[in-house]
Structure 1
Amino acid sequence: MFWTSILKLCNALFLFTLVACGSSTNNDDESHFVENENFVKIPLQASISNVQPMTGLVFWTDNTRALESLGSSVQLEFSYMLFSDVVQQEGEYNWQVIDELLDDIAGRGHQAILRFRYTYPGHTQISVPDSIANSASYNIMFDKVEGKDTFLPDWSHSAFQDFSLQFFVDFAARYDGDPRLAMLQVGFGSYSEYHLYDGPVSLGINFPSKTFQKSFLEKMSSSFNTTQWSISIDAANDVYSPLATTPSLKEADFGVFDDSFMHKEHSNSDSEYNRASWLFFGLDRYKSSMLGGEFSYYSGYDQQHVLNLPDGSWGRSFESFSQQYHLSYIIGNDQYRYQSAQRIKQASLAIGYKFNIESFSASPNQSRVTISNTGIAPIYYDAYPAINGTRSAKSLKGLLPSESRSFEFEIGGQSPVLTIESEHLVLGQKIEYSANL
C-alpha cells in the first residue's frame, strides 16, 4: 500500500508538471491564444440594409431637398471651397468657415468631400487672398473660358505660389484624420479639374508650371498621412501635367476622380480619353486610394438616364462601370430629379466595401472571426472588428474585394456580440455586415 501510494503521487506530480509546462508554452505565445480550448460555432444572421460610411452617391451640401428626402441613403456631401474664404490676409486663417461646414454636414450623419478651387468658368470673383491680389506685382487676369468671362490666377507670382503650397500644409496640420472629412480633392484650372477646357493655356502664367506642380504633389504627399486626397484623371494630360514625364510622381498614394463618368464614348476602347487616363494612373490604384468621380454632364441625356436599368444611358449599367473602376463614390447631384429614392439607394449600395462574416466561433475565453469583403473596393480608413466592445488589434483597412481576414480575441462566452468600430465615423454612422451562420 505504501509503494502504491507513492507511485500514485509521482504520477500525479508528473501530470501536473506536463500541464504546467503546457500552460507556460501557451503564455509565451505572442497571441496568448489557447489552441486546445473548446470552440463552438456562433449562429449569426445579419444583412447590410444601409449605405455604408464613405461610399455611395454624393450630393452637394446645398441640395437640401435631396438630402432631407434621402436621409441615410446619402453618406457623403460635396462642397467647393474658395481659398479666399479661409485666408484674406497673409498667415491669417479663418478655419471657422471650414469647421462650420464640416459640422453642418456631420450633423446630418454624413461626411464631406471638399474641393478647393480658384477658377470656375463664368465666375469673375477674385478667389486668391486679398493680401496677394492687392499687391502691386500681382496681375489680376480675366479671360474667356467655356465662352464665359472667368477669373484666372496669376501663377507667375512667387508669393501666390508660396501660399498655394503652404495652404495645404497648414490644412493638413489641422484636418488630417478628421472624421468629418472623407476626401479632399485638389487640382488646378477650371473647377480644379486639371484643365482649362476651351480657354487659353499658358503654363506658369494662368496655369501652374510643371515644376510648381511637382512641388505641390510632393508637398501633398508628405503632409497627409490619413485623410484620402485625389486629383482629376485629366492630370494624365502631358500638356497640363508633369506626371507623364515624371512617372515617380504617380507612386504617391493619391486617388483619382473622373468628372465625366459614363459619357457616350466612355471606355469603348483602351485608347478612349477617359479609359486611357484611368489606365495611365494604373488599375491597381484602388487598392490603396479611394476612387470616384461625377456623372457626365456632356448632355442632359447623360444625367437623365445614367442610372437606368439595365443599360444606363449608353448601353451599360452604372453597376458595370463602377465595378470596372472599383468606385467608392460618385457625385450625382441631379439624380434626385430623375431617379427614385429606391434606385439611388440601390446604386449607392453597389459601390465601395461590404463586409461579410464568413465564420464566428467562441470558447469561454476567446473568439475567432473571419471577415470577407464582398464589395468592389476596400475601406480606406481603420475599422476594427470588436467582441463585446473589445477591439481586435488588426484593422479591416485595405481588405480587398473577394479577400478575407481572420481575427482572434481574448474574450468569448456563450453569446459574444460582434461589431465593427472606427474612429473615422461621425455620430449616427455605422459600419454594418452581412452574415448567414
Structure 2
Amino acid sequence: MRKALFALLVLFTLAAGTPAVAARPQWTPQTYTAAPADNPLKGFLPFAGDYETFPHSMEWFYLPLSDVMTGPRKFDWDAFDSQLDAIAARGHQSVFRFYLDYPGRPSGIPQYLLDEGLLTRPYPDFGNNGVSVAPDYSDPRLVAALENFITALGRRYDGDPRIGFLTLGLIGFWGEWHTWPYDGTTQPENWMPGDDILTRILQRYENAFDRTRLLARYPSPLNKNLDIGYHDDSFAFETLPPTSWHFVQRLIDEGVTGKWRREPVGGELRPEIQSCLWDQPVSCTQYEDYSESVDQTHASWLINHAAFTGTGFTGEKYQRAVAGARALGYELTVTAAKLTPGRASVRIANRGVAPFYYDWPAELAAVDRSGHVVRRWPTRWTVDGIQPGDAPTELSARITTRGLRHGRYDIVLRLPNPLPGGTPLRFANTSQNTTSGWLTLGSVTAR
C-alpha cells in the first residue's frame, strides 16, 4: 500500500514540476472566395448618376473649363465641388476630365479668353456642326491659363478622398490629346500644340499632383518617364497589337508595357460594344477579345455606361458582365494569418491583374462575443504595390489584449476608405464581411 502511495506521490510531483511547453503560433490558412465587383477604385463605372443596376464604386463626369475658370488666376469651384459632393454622397469616388473642346457641346473655353480674341476654329466633324470650336492651343494666353489652372487644381484637390483618378484632358477633341483629322495627316492643318507646349502641360500636372493618380490618353516619349498612367478610351476595339495606333502597340513602341506596376491604367469600353460584348455568343460586328485586352493592359477601371442604363443587363448576360468588371484591377486575398495576444501577422497575395494604387492605412481590432469592436490598433500596413503573381507579402504588427476582460476575441482587419461613407476595400476571403469591411483573421484569449 505504501509503495503504491509513494508511486502516486512521485507521479504527481513529476507532473507538477515539469513546465508546459507552449505551442508556437502557427500560420492558419485563410479561405479564398471572389471579392465583390464593387471594390473601391476598380471595375466598371457609369456616367455620374444614381444607378442601382450594376455594382460600382466610382462615377465618371466631364466638366468644361469655363465652368470654373473666370480669369487668368480666378476660379469658382462651386460647379466642380457640387459634382464631387453628389457622387461622394452615394458612397462613390469620382473619375473626371476637364475639357476645352467637346464635339457637339458648347465650348469649354473660358469666356475671358474668348473676349481677349483667342483664335478658334469651327469644324463639322463628329456631329459637331459648329457647336464647339477648337482653340489655338499654341496661344501663349491659353498655355498660361492651362498652367495656372492645373496648379490651382492640384493645390486645392490633390489627395481629396472624393477623387479616384484624374484624366489629364484639356487638349484636343474631348480632351483626348488629339485633333484628328486636323493633325497634319488627313488634313494639311495641324491643330495640336507643339511638343514644347505639351511637355509644359505634362510637367505642370506632375508637379501639381503627388497623391491623386493621373492618367494620359496616349503613351508617348513626352510622358513615358513621368508618374502618369494611361487610359484607353477605345478598349477592346482598338487595344491589341500589332496595329500601330492601338493602345497596347503604343505601350510596346514606347517601352512602357510594365508601367502599370506603378501607375494605373483605365479607360472606356468602346461605346458600340458596351452591351453586345456580353452576349453569348458575342454579337458585336467588330470587337477584340476582352480577357486578352485586360491581360495585356492590366486595366483597373473602365467606363461601361450601357451596363447601368434602363434596366441594365439581366440573367447570364449580367453575370458575364459582373465577371468582366471583377477581372479588372487588384484582387487582394489574405492567404494565411498568425495570431497571439501580442502580435498579429498576415500574408497577402494579389490574384488580380494590377496593384492597388493608394496607400490607405490598415487597422486591426478586437471584437467581443457580442460582435462589438472593443479595441482598435492602427498599423503602418498598406497594400499598395502588392503585385499580381508575386509571393504573398507578409505584414506584422503588435497588438495587446491587456486590460480586456477575460475571454475570447476575434481579431479583424480592414482597410477603410478615406471617403466618409465610401466603399471599404474587401479582401477575397470567405471570412470577409462585405458590409463593414472587417476581415476575421482568427481569435485570441485575453487572460
* Distance in 2 (alpha carbons) for counterparts of 1:133 and 1:368: 60
Residue ranges of structure 1 left out of the alignment (5+ in a row):
1-35, 237-242
* Distance in 2 (alpha carbons) for counterparts of 1:270 and 1:90: 42
Partner of 1:88, secondary structure, is strand
* Alpha-carbon distance, 1:156 to partner: 3.4
Equivalent residues in 2 for 1:390-409, closer than 5 Å: 390-403=377-390, 404-409=392-397
Change (3 A) 1:353 1:426: farther
Give CA-to-partner distance per residue, 1:207-233, whole Å, 9 cap, x none: 322211011111111111010111112
Structure (1 or 2) with the greater helix fraction:
1
Residue ranges of structure 2 left out of the alignment (5+ in a row):
1-21, 366-375, 402-407, 431-440, 442-447
Q: Is the 8 A contact 2:61 2:97 kept in 1?
A: yes
Residue identity in the other structure for 1:51: D
Does residue 189 (structure 1) correspond to residue 189 (structure 2)? The answer is no
Equivalent residues in 2 for 1:252-401, closer than 5 Å: 252-263=226-237, 266-267=239-240, 269=242, 271=244, 273-281=246-254, 282-297=256-271, 300=272, 302-308=273-279, 313=284, 317-336=289-308, 339-340=313-314, 341-388=318-365, 389-401=376-388
* Distance in 2 (alpha carbons) for counterparts of 1:321 and 1:308: 17
Give CA-to-partner distance per residue, 1:227-267, whole Å, 9 cap, x none: 0111112x54xxxxxx3xx5xx411111111111112x642
Residue identity in the other structure for 1:290: P
* Distance in 1 (alpha carbons) for counterparts of 2:327 and 2:65: 35
Does residue 432 (structure 1) correspond to residue 443 (structure 2)? The answer is no
After TM superposition, the score normalised by the length of structure 1 is: 0.79
* Distance in 1 (alpha carbons) for counterparts of 2:29 and 2:336: 9
* Alpha-carbon distance, 1:426 to partner: 4.1
Partner of 2:73, secondary structure, is coil
Does residue 68 (structure 1) correspond to residue 62 (structure 2)? The answer is no
* Alpha-carbon distance, 1:204 to partner: 11
Residue identity in the other structure for 1:103: D
* Alpha-carbon distance, 1:203 to partner: 11
Does residue 52 (structure 1) correspond to residue 44 (structure 2)? The answer is no
* Distance in 2 (alpha carbons) for counterparts of 1:275 and 1:130: 38
Change (3 A) 1:272 1:129: closer
* Distance in 1 (alpha carbons) for counterparts of 2:100 and 2:79: 17
State the partner residue of 1:133: 114
* Distance in 1 (alpha carbons) for counterparts of 2:94 and 2:350: 24
Alignment counterpart, residue 214 of structure 1, candidates 192, 199, 215: 199
* Distance in 1 (alpha carbons) for counterparts of 2:328 and 2:274: 19
* Distance in 2 (alpha carbons) for counterparts of 1:329 and 1:274: 15
Percentage identity across paired residues of the two chains:
22
* Distance in 2 (alpha carbons) for counterparts of 1:196 and 1:162: 20
* Distance in 2 (alpha carbons) for counterparts of 1:303 and 1:46: 30
Change (3 A) 1:285 1:230: same
* Distance in 1 (alpha carbons) for counterparts of 2:290 and 2:231: 16
Partner of 1:97, secondary structure, is helix
Does residue 421 (structure 1) correspond to residue 412 (structure 2)? The answer is no
* Alpha-carbon distance, 1:310 to partner: 6.8
Residue identity in the other structure for 2:172: G
* Distance in 1 (alpha carbons) for counterparts of 2:241 and 2:210: 36
Partner of 2:357, secondary structure, is coil
Equivalent residues in 2 for 1:91-110, closer than 5 Å: 91-110=73-92
Partner of 2:275, secondary structure, is helix
* Distance in 2 (alpha carbons) for counterparts of 1:100 and 1:258: 27
Alignment counterpart, residue 224 of structure 1, candidates 188, 203, 209: 209
Partner of 1:146, secondary structure, is helix
Does residue 39 (structure 1) correspond to residue 21 (structure 2)? The answer is no
Partner of 2:176, secondary structure, is coil
Give CA-to-partner distance per residue, 1:394-428, whole Å, 9 cap, x none: 31111111222111111156544232324544414
Q: Is the 8 A contact 1:146 1:199 kept in 2?
A: no
Aligned residues: 380
Change (3 A) 1:296 1:205: closer
